[in-house]
Each structure stands twice: as C-alpha cells, then as structure tokens.
Chain A
Amino acid sequence: DGGITQSPKYLFRKEGQNVTLSCEQNLNHDAMYWYRQDPGQGLRLIYYSQIVNDFQKGDIAEGYSVSREKKESFPLTVTSAQKNPTAFYLCASTPGRGSSYEQYFGPGTRLTVT
C-alpha cells in the first residue's frame, strides 16, 4: 500500500540535543511538507519542498532544518535552537502539480523534550 511513514511515533530527548524525525513516502509525490501542532491548535507550516534538492522555509522555520536528497524522503531536524520543541509533528505530501490538491498525511511523531 502507498502512503507516508513517520518514525518513531513517540520520541523523547533531553534539552540541548538535536533530533531528526523521519518522513518517507512511496506515493511518487513531488511536494512534501512538515507541520507542527501544539495542543488544542491547528497545524503550522515549518518547511516544504516542491522538488528534490530544493526546500523553502515555512511560517515557523526557526530552530529547524531539513534536507531533500531523495524524492521519497524529507527528514526534519529539530535543533537545540528551537525554544519550544515539544509538539506533535506531521509530515505530508502532494503530487505537486496537476489537479489533485489533497495533502496526504503521515501518522505523526510526538516529540517530548525535557
């Protein structure tokens, strides 16, 4: 089955450590996105990538970094510069062109930093 996988589902880290969240898709989608969700709130865009080897900052990119070396993969690194990293992180993808606008989401990773 095609879809988006994110691992792990739960992640715990000590303050001051960098941590990388995995996102892999086998939908052959061009565009991929990272969103952050805080309790009781909607999702906010961190980074997005419309093609391989290219990515753009979203609305809350400070303290995060990404790479897009392969079409299938879009890992997100939460750096020690992120002041409030504890949150629910969701990865999404979309074909990037054509008439389909639906974004397909992964199951998410809950990051807790203490």
Chain B
Amino acid sequence: AQKITQTQPGMFVQEKEAVTLDCTYDTSDPSYGLFWYKQPSSGEMIFLIYQGSYDQQNATEGRYSLNFQKARKSANLVISASQLGDSAMYFCAMSPRTGRRALTFGSGTRLQVQP
C-alpha cells in the first residue's frame, strides 16, 4: 500500500518569494514515481512535475523544482518567484511503476499568494 502525507493544510507566501510545500510518502514498491499537481478553483488537475525513484537528479520544470530525499521519503515542491496565479490547491501523489499505476494522493495544501 502507498500513503502520501501533506502536513500543511494552508500556506501563505508573498508575491515574488519562494515557497516549499511538504510531502512525505510511504511505499513498499521498489520503483515508483512522485508527482505534483495544481488544482485551481475551476477544479482541473494541472500536472506540474514528476520525479522517478531512481532518478539521480532532482526534477525541475521552470519555476517548479522537486526536492527529493529518498532516505527521508520526502518529495517537497519548491515554487520560486511566486505569482498571484499560483494561488491554488497543490497535491502530492505517487504511483508504482508497475501494476495498476494509479495515483495515490495526499490531502493537499492550499497556497495563497499575497501581493
């Protein structure tokens, strides 16, 4: 079984500052993927970034980076230079790389960017 824990129900950040959203996970699968999705108020799920468990380097996508610490089982999302449009719910998720490959989600973090 897989489990994702997001301990920050809500976060505030000033525009143009960086923010880290925490995510820890637990799994017995030897190979897995870690994901971050953004969900604005419209409800759509927007894929942000992916990290494979065997990837040596931390993933980066534009202003998003994933701070992957395998020994600690953490996969924190770092958003640099926050923008007002970053205000949304953010979900950490994981899936095994074999088998059903469905996503297991955390409970999310609501990020509010203040001007």
A contact residues vs B (CB 8 Å cutoff): 31, 33, 35, 40-45, 48, 50, 56, 58, 88, 90, 92, 94, 96, 101-105, 107-108, 110
- Among A40, A48, A108, the residue within 8 A (CB) of B100 is A48
B82 contacts the other chain (Cβ, under 8 Å)?
A: no
B84 contacts the other chain (Cβ, under 8 Å)?
A: no
Q: Scan B46-86; emit 1 where CB is below 8 A from any A CB, else 0.
A: 01001010000000000000000000000000000000000
Beyond A43-B91, A107-B43, is A101–B101 a contact (Cβ under 8 Å)?
yes
Q: Is the CB of B91 within 8 A of A42?
A: yes
Docked Cα-Cα span, A56 to B101, in Å, equals 12
Q: Sample 10 A-B pairs with CB under 8 A, ordered by A number.
A: A33-B102, A41-B107, A42-B106, A42-B108, A43-B45, A45-B102, A48-B100, A103-B95, A107-B43, A107-B44
- Number of residues on chain B facing chain A (CB within 8 A): 24
Q: Is the CB of A102 within 8 A of B44?
A: no
Docked Cα-Cα span, A44 to B104, in Å, equals 7
Docked Cα-Cα span, A92 to B37, in Å, equals 13
A44 contacts across to B, CB distance below 8 A: 105
Q: Scan B94-112; emit 1 where CB is below 8 A from any A CB, else 0.
A: 0101001111111110000
B25 contacts the other chain (Cβ, under 8 Å)?
A: no
Minimum distance in angstroms from B73 CB to a CB of chain A: 18
A110 contacts across to B, CB distance below 8 A: 43
Docked Cα-Cα span, A1 to B107, in Å, equals 31
Q: Is the CB of A102 within 8 A of B103?
A: no
Smallest CB gap from A9: residue in B: B43
A56 contacts across to B, CB distance below 8 A: 100
